[in-house]
Chains A and B, each alone.
Chain A
Amino acid sequence: MASATCVICESQVKLPDDCTKGELLICADCGTELEVINLDPIAVEEAPQVQEDWGE
């Protein structure tokens, strides 16, 4: 199972098998919400904060 390094606490975060670019992951150690920005090579960054026009 692939994993990424949390950009905040540097712990390893597992990626699901069917992971897609844009998917959100939660770092189990520090709770940071991470967004998968690339799959090859795997890269994550802090997910953007909620914007004013987000929603349904």
Chain B
Amino acid sequence: MALLIIFTRLRLEEKLLNEAAKRENIPCELRNVTDFYYGGGNFCAPGDVVLARCVSHNQNESVAALLESENVRVVNPSGVMRLCGNKLSTTLALQTAKIPQPNFRIAFTPESALEASRELGFPVVCKPILGSWGRLLAKVNDPEAAEAVLEHKSMLGAMHNVFYIQEYIEKGGFDVRAFVVNGEPICAINRTSEHWITNTARGGRATNFTMDGDVEELLKRTHDTIGGEFLAVDLFNSGGRWLVNEVNDGGEFRNSIEPTGVDIPGAVVRAAWEARVR
């Protein structure tokens, strides 16, 4: 019985998770699934639990779903990945649960996306439905820029023919990345940047953020809606009101351990290990 950390690109996070498992005396194996194929025999032993950390969302969700079909416990479950990996799915889940989030419009042509942007009010943010690390986000300040961005997006292939338009939030130069393990908020960082994109992957600076009761309650409600053992939730503060911007199922945490002083990988591997017997 072991914890298998599966990956396709060994990031610092996967190394830290492996080291944390050793510290916690959890039998653990890093397994590269780049050449994995389904149907070739048993992937793991009965009772093993898989911590899915493939850098490709599609591959991570697919491997998780295949393993679950063989009754392997995967953390996070593929259903959680499905919700988090598609921004529209996340948005709809949050909306159904009445969790505050930035206003949004969804359109299917550049023309209707332009009209939706006008109605929402410039500036707006065009987001790809699938993607991460702030990639292909566009802050669109006026209709002329919108025409150009939307036309370009329409040429990028099927993944970009659903236009996700989000209200631009004046968030005061920072957002908050909070980590939720087994439904409990364990720590958070404040990400500050002069750029409107505050991802640490894009150079945002991380400092500790002390969560108050309102933030913790919002994070717990978000977890109740999305599920999963480990979530990384991005929050905006708009006029004193907290909004959930994104929910990540495969959160990176290398820049959050030192400022928060919290052993995030330790908490994650403990949660994954506990999941095997649930």
Q: Which residues of A contact B (CB under 8 A)?
A: 20-24, 35, 47-48, 50-56
A56 and B232 within 8 A (CB): yes
Residues on A with beta carbons closer than 8 Å to the beta carbon of B57: 53-55
Neighbour of B30 across the interface among A20, A35, A50, CB < 8 A: A20
Q: Which residues of A contact B168 (CB under 8 A)?
A: none
B residues apposed to A, CB below 8 Å: 7-11, 15, 30, 32, 34, 55-58, 85, 128, 130-133, 135, 159, 201, 232, 248-252
A56 B132 Cβ-Cβ under 8 A: yes
Residues of A within 8 A of B250 (CB): 55-56
Known A-B contacts: A52-B135, A53-B57, A53-B131. Give 8 more (CB < 8 A). A35-B9, A50-B133, A52-B131, A52-B159, A55-B132, A55-B135, A56-B132, A56-B251
Nearest A-chain residue to B34, judged by Cβ: A22
Q: Which 8 A-B pairs have the closest CB atoms?
A: A55-B132, A56-B248, A22-B32, A22-B10, A53-B57, A23-B10, A55-B133, A56-B132
Q: How far is the CB of A40 from chain B (nearest CB, A)?
A: 14
B85 — which chain A residues lie within 8 A by C-beta?
53
Which among A24, A48, A53 has the greatest number of chain B C-beta atoms within 10 A? A53
Given A22-B8, A22-B9, A22-B32, A56 and B131 touching (CB < 8 A)?
no
Can you give 22 contacting A-B residue pairs, CB < 8 Å? A20-B15, A20-B32, A22-B9, A22-B34, A24-B10, A47-B9, A50-B133, A52-B128, A52-B130, A52-B135, A53-B57, A53-B130, A54-B56, A54-B57, A54-B132, A55-B131, A55-B248, A55-B250, A56-B232, A56-B249, A56-B250, A56-B252
Say whether B32 contacts A21, CB under 8 Å: yes
Residues B133 and A22 in contact, CB atoms below 8 Å apart = no
What is the bound-complex CA distance between A23 and B8, given in angstroms?
9
Q: How many angstroms from the CA of A27 to the CA of B91 in the assembled complex?
A: 41
**Residues of B contacting A50 with CB < 8 Å?**
133, 135
Nearest-CB distance from B209 to chain A (Å)?
18
Q: Which residues of B contact A55 (CB under 8 A)?
A: 55, 57, 131-133, 135, 201, 248, 250
Residues of B within 8 Å of A48, CB to CB, are 9
Contacts of A24 in B (CB 8 A): 9-11
Give, as a whole number of angstroms, the nearest-CB distance from A42 to chain B: 15
